[in-house]
Amino acid sequence: MGKVVGIDLGTTNSLVACVENGRPVVLRDERGDALVPSVVSIDEDGTIFVGREAQRRLLTEPSRAVYSVKRFMGRGIEDVREDAGLLPFRVSGETGGVVRIGVADREFTPPEISAFILRELKHRAEEHFRKQGEFDFEVDRAVITVPAYFNDAQRTATRDAGRLAGLEVLRIINEPTAASLAYGLDKRNRGTIAVYDLGGGTFDISILKVEDGVFQVLSTNGDTHLGGDDIDRLLVEMVLSEVGRALSGAPGGPEGSAPQTIETIRRAVIQAKWDLSDIEETEIRIEPSPAVRMGYRKRITRAEFDLLIHPLIERTLEPCRQALADAGLEPKDIDEAVLVGGSTRIPLVRRLVEELFGRKPHSELNPDEVVAIGAAVQADILISGRREMLLLDVTPLSLGIETMGGVVSKIIVRNSTIPASGREMFTTGVDNQTGVDIHVLQGERELAADCRSLAHLHLKGIPPMVAGLPRIEVRFQIDANGILSVSARELRTGVEQAVEVKPSYGLTDQEVERMLIESFEHAEADFEARLLIDARNEAESVIQATEKVLRRSETEGVASELLDPGERERIAAAISELKAAMIGTDRAAIQEKTHALNHATQHLAEATMNRTVREALAGRNIKDV
Amino acid sequence: MLECRNCGAGAPVDEHFCPQCSRLLALGRHGDYFTFLGLPRKLVIDANELERRFRDLSRKFHPDYFYNASPTERLASLERSSYLNDAYRALRNPVSRIEHLLAIEGLPSAKSDEGTAKVPPSLLEEVFALNEELDEIRELRESGTDPETLRTRLDTARAPIEAKREEHERQLQDLSARWDSQEVAPAPEKRATLDALRERLLERNYINNLLASIEREVAAVAHG
């Protein structure tokens, strides 16, 4: 068995954490950075870049990068048109189907893009375990977090992404609940807590009761389309409208909304947004560049910023009130409020939360890292079987089926503790009917048209009987992941019914299976690509080091002292052979020529070293004297 | 009796774990939330006690703790946890608690659909008066009468219905207490209490529908 990790798969950033010696730790890169930007960039030759490198490429090759993919998970094209406008990548899809993301000539589904991010996190964790000297460092299982308000399709898409990344998804858990688990580690007290989670793309509020180590969610609410991204978009639109005006009379033509222009503006406004969490006034500053020729500068105060974003933040308050009402509580009943998500650094957000709950919210733990920590803790609970703590979560949306006249009949009501189940009886309408179709939906509205279509079920193999005689019991089961499964049985004959599930906004099992096979094929190619890059980098650094030593020996006039006759020519030949190999894609050849160059410079390296040591000793002697 | 799918031993229907091999038992056809939670079949429940049992059983059944178990036990964990959650939700609320009691005592459902069809005799007078008043208010609203007047009339119309509802809540409480005291009473007496409870629930549904129709008119007035 391999290793187990907790993953926060975020809209803007993703993180991976694990429990080591009983303590959760967030895994960082060499620079100490825990955040992996949720950005994927696909090179011309198909090489995949994820994280910081992809973020860099976003500026130079914006049309080859994909970000904020979480917003597309489990959604249809009709849901995401608004987002698609300002994004540099192509978004397409048939009405009532899975969204497709186009990068150059390739197309991906959102779970495939998310899987690239998950693979990067998996890689990071495996590097960590390898460096720890673990013999079995492979990471094969994970707990992945999702917004509490994610529906069945969005959860399933996340689980599919895990599978595509070669991870067994132990559990999908809700982000606010994960955060409460992280907070609960230090203070094992009891009470009612509200977790306010405003991230890059989603908003969640969860009300929990904590007692005897049981973290019981009483209610949850939210908006899966509200977060820091929306704030950025407001600012980008503000700048665009002004840049556009400035340009209308300027020579060189309008830059319009070219991806590069938008990306340049986006970076500048995000920096300004961050500034305004600490200081009262800052400047949105864009240096003149091909993307924004005139450049742009504008002072902005926190008051102006607050005014701009107030309507957005206000939208979080109604879900909070609804969650309180569903839990049967008043704001004064909340013992503690906890802030999660990068957007809760904004002072206006803190103020409004404090006003609502009448108390200063907690933010002791890093709001970016707390969810990943909770996921790691939950992963540890699952594999260790330790029973000190238990999460009892709820389903955020009611589950129902469409009945006569397009009205929804609810089978499992929202805020039911999961796992939860429900039953519904069906019968036939005509004699000898052997199949029944059922439309499953999620949502709170009365009419099917206003709810979220989850799937169309087709019950098959009903024993032929007079109309109305069969008694088919359909059982709906929501598991601890918040994901639905359906089974059916004809009670008169006891025959288990086959249920064909056609997800409305998800991938069928066959599609996931096919992608899995493709991803294995690509994974090999991706792995090969990574090794090739590594080999080229290694070769490049050896060439640079050699050239540097040669140059220095020239300028210092010691070349003849260090180099034997003919040695310079041999080194020069080795370098040009290596450079020739680097143009190709034969990794073995590059490695061989790198090795040859290393060999050719061995004498030079030793001679240089000796000289440096002599000089150092000589220098010390002089000083000592 | 339940049969343990692990060792084949028999177990009483209210057991959660096999007395012989101590594995989690498959759920079987359980129908009684009270027994499942280890509570007497009574309508006055200590909320803290209910919660404590819910938490304790959650710690025993939850799928989190059966991750490494056999597929049979994992399924049992999923089924028992779901059933526990359903039981907790049903018993936590006094009205759904009564509905569950009526169901396991073999009375027909008291759900709203059957209740709205015909007016309960005890409410005839109120219903008649209210419908007439609502019709009049609707006409006045459509002819543009000032909203403040309409609101006052709606408040007046609501008062007797609210009073009825409070009366019903009290009756439900009294009947619940009576049921709890009838543990050893003769069957016909117990049945009479259940019938009365069912009747009150049907009326209660009807009263709620009346209040809802008043609220709809209030909303219509507010929106002009």
- Return the beta strands (E) in A105-198 as ranges: 106-108, 139-146, 168-174, 191-198
Query: Phi, psi at residue B72, to the nearest 5°?
Result: -60, -45
Task: Look up the pTM and report it.
Answer: 0.80
Contact A420 B67 (CB under 8 A): no
Tens of pLDDT, residues A116-134: 999 999 999 998 898 888 7
Does the structure show a pLDDT above 50 at A427? yes
What confidence tier does A555 reach under pLDDT thresholds 50, 70, 90? Answer: confident
Count CA atoms closer than 13 A to A436's CA, side-chain side.
29
DSSP state of B108: P
Contact A216 B55 (CB under 8 A): yes
Does the structure show a pLDDT above 70 at A525? no
Contact B59 A477 (CB under 8 A): no
Residue A70 or residue A296, greater confidence:
A70
Can you tell me the distance from the alpha carbon of A607 to that of A595, in angstroms, rounded to the nearest whole number? 19
Mean pLDDT on B74-87 = 92
User: A140 near A3, Cβ under 8 Å?
Assistant: yes
Can you tell me the distance from the alpha carbon of B154 to that of A312, in angstroms, rounded to the nearest whole number? 36
Does the structure show a pLDDT above 60 at A62? yes
User: A577 near A593, Cβ under 8 Å?
Assistant: yes
Catalytic one among A83, A126, A160, A197?
A: A197
Tens of pLDDT, residues B130-147: 888 888 888 888 887 788
What confidence tier does A187 reach under pLDDT thresholds 50, 70, 90? Answer: low
Contact A418 B64 (CB under 8 A): no
Which of A381, A387, A477 is nearest residue B82 as measured by Cβ atoms?
A477
Does the structure show a pLDDT above 70 at A619? no
Task: Give me the helices (H) in B110-222, please.
Answer: 112-117, 124-142, 147-181, 187-222
Cα→Cα distances A426→A46, B30, B108, Å: 51, 21, 19
Residue A431 CB: number of other CB atoms within 10 A?
11
What confidence tier does A246 reach under pLDDT thresholds 50, 70, 90? Answer: low
Listed residue (B126, B125, B123) closest to B202, CA to CA: B123
Q: Which two tokens stand for residue B150?
A: 């309409």
What confidence tier does A516 reach under pLDDT thresholds 50, 70, 90? Answer: confident
Does the structure show a pLDDT above 60 at A399? yes
Tens of pLDDT, residues A266-289: 889 999 999 999 999 999 988 888
> Nearest-CA distance from A437 to chain B in Å?
24
Which of B64, B68, B82 is nearest residue A390 as measured by Cβ atoms?
B64
How much of chain A, in percent, has pLDDT values that exceed 70?
93
Which of A171, A211, A418 is nearest residue B55 as measured by Cβ atoms?
A211
Predicted complex: ipTM over 0.85: no
By C-alpha distance, the chain A residue nearest B75 is: A479
Contacts of A588 (CB under 8 A, 6+ apart): none
Give pLDDT, residue A622: 46
Measured on CA atoms in the order A170, A173, A177, A180, is the torsion positive or negative?
positive
Does the structure show a pLDDT above 70 at B212? yes
By C-alpha distance, the chain A residue nearest B78 is: A419
Mean pLDDT on A157-182 = 93
Catalytic one among A3, A70, A122, A593?
A: A70
Residue B132 or residue A379, greater confidence:
A379
Give pLDDT, residue B81: 93
Which of A387, A390, A420 is nearest residue B85 as measured by Cβ atoms?
A420
Contact A392 B62 (CB under 8 A): yes
What confidence tier does A264 reach under pLDDT thresholds 50, 70, 90? Answer: confident
Ranking A261-275, A502-516, B46-60 by mean pLDDT, the lowest is A502-516
Give pLDDT, residue A623: 46
Residue A112 or residue A252, greater confidence:
A112
How much of chain A, in percent, has pLDDT values that exceed 90?
36
SS (H, E, C) A477-515: EECCCCCEEEEEEECCCCEEEEEEEEECCCCCHHHHHHH
3-state secondary structure of A151: coil
Residue B83 or residue A611, greater confidence:
B83
Tell me which of B50, B59, B92, B93 to substitute to probe the interface with A (most A C-beta atoms closer than 10 Å): B59
Residue A143 or residue A55, greater confidence:
A143
Give pLDDT, residue A620: 55
Listed residue (A103, A82, A100, A83) closest to A91, CA to CA: A100
What confidence tier does A170 reach under pLDDT thresholds 50, 70, 90? Answer: very high
Cα→Cα distances A298→A67, A261, A294, A439, Å: 27, 17, 13, 53
Give pLDDT, residue A47: 83
Does the structure show a pLDDT above 50 at A206? yes
User: B158 near B211, Cβ under 8 Å?
Assistant: yes
> What Rg, from alpha-carbon coordinates, does chain B have?
24
Residue B29 or residue A596, greater confidence:
A596
Can you tell me the distance from the alpha carbon of A519 to that of A521, in angstroms, rounded to the nearest whole number? 5
Does the structure show a pLDDT above 80 at A504? no
Which of B55, B63, B88 is nearest residue A212 as measured by Cβ atoms?
B55
Which of A420, A421, A480 is nearest residue B64 as measured by Cβ atoms?
A480
Where is mean pLDDT largest: A48-62, A226-240, B99-113? A226-240
Listed residue (A67, A410, A80) closest to A224, CA to CA: A80
Burial of A31 by CB count in 10 Å (0-12 exposed, 13-18 middle, 19+ buried)? exposed
Does the structure show a pLDDT above 80 at A528? no
Give pLDDT, residue B98: 93
What confidence tier does A254 reach under pLDDT thresholds 50, 70, 90? Answer: very low
Does the structure show a pLDDT above 70 at B155? yes
Can you tell me the distance from the alpha carbon of A139 to that of A32, in angstroms, rounded to the nearest whole number? 21
What confidence tier does A25 reach under pLDDT thresholds 50, 70, 90? Answer: very high
Tens of pLDDT, residues A304-340: 999 999 999 999 999 999 999 999 999 999 998 999 9
Q: Which two tokens stand for residue A396?
A: 């955020």
CB-CB neighbors (< 8 A) of B55 in chain A: 211-212, 214, 216
Cα→Cα distances B107→A196, B98, B114, B170, B204, Å: 45, 11, 13, 22, 17
By C-alpha distance, the chain A residue nearest B85 is: A417
Where is mean pLDDT largest: A86-100, A284-298, A375-389? A375-389
Which DSSP string corresponds to B202-218? HHHHHHHHHHHHHHHHH
Can you tell me the distance from the alpha carbon of A307 to that of A234, in angstroms, rounded to the nearest whole number? 11
Query: Phi, psi at residue A139, to the nearest 5°?
Result: -100, 115
Cα→Cα distances B56→A120, B18, B60, B173, Å: 40, 18, 7, 28
CB-CB neighbors (< 8 A) of A385 in chain B: 65, 67-68
Can you tell me the distance from the alpha carbon of A345 to that of A352, in angstroms, rounded to the nearest whole number? 12
Contact A214 B65 (CB under 8 A): no
Give pLDDT, residue A157: 93
Contacts of A72 (CB under 8 A, 6+ apart): A80, A83, A91, A99, A101, A110
What confidence tier does A103 reach under pLDDT thresholds 50, 70, 90? Answer: confident
Can you tell me the distance from the alpha carbon of A2 to that of A483, in angstroms, rounded to the nearest whole number? 25
Tens of pLDDT, residues B105-126: 888 876 645 445 567 777 777 7
User: A234 near A312, Cβ under 8 Å?
Assistant: yes
Give pLDDT, residue A251: 39
Give pLDDT, residue B207: 85
Query: Phi, psi at residue A80, to the nearest 5°?
Result: -120, 10
Where is mean pLDDT largest: A601-610, B148-157, B188-197? B188-197
Contact A390 B58 (CB under 8 A): yes
3-state secondary structure of A39: strand
Tens of pLDDT, residues A445-463: 888 888 888 888 888 888 8
Can you tell me the distance from the alpha carbon of A555 to that of B15, in angstroms, rounded to the nearest whole number? 89
What rounded mean pLDDT belongs to chain A?
85
Does the structure show a pLDDT above 60 at A249? no
> CA torsion, points A567, A573, A575, A580, in degrees to nearest 10?
-170
Element (H, E) at A379: helix A370-384
Catalytic, A230? Answer no
Does the structure show a pLDDT above 60 at A621? no
Burial of A194 by CB count in 10 Å (0-12 exposed, 13-18 middle, 19+ buried)? buried
Can you tell me the distance from the alpha carbon of A17 to that of A370, in angstroms, rounded to the nearest whole number? 10
Give pLDDT, residue A526: 65
3-state secondary structure of A391: strand
Burial of A271 by CB count in 10 Å (0-12 exposed, 13-18 middle, 19+ buried)? middle
Does the structure show a pLDDT above 60 at A168? yes
Listed residue (A64, A76, A68, A35) closest to A52, CA to CA: A35
Does the structure show a pLDDT above 70 at B172? yes
Catalytic, A175? Answer yes
Catalytic one among A83, A120, A175, A232?
A: A175
Does the structure show a pLDDT above 50 at A252? no
Does the structure show a pLDDT above 50 at A250? no
By C-alpha distance, the chain B residue nearest A173 is: B64
CB-CB neighbors (< 8 A) of B59 in chain A: 214, 387, 390
3-state secondary structure of A124: helix
Residue A506 or residue A70, greater confidence:
A70
Catalytic, A197? Answer yes
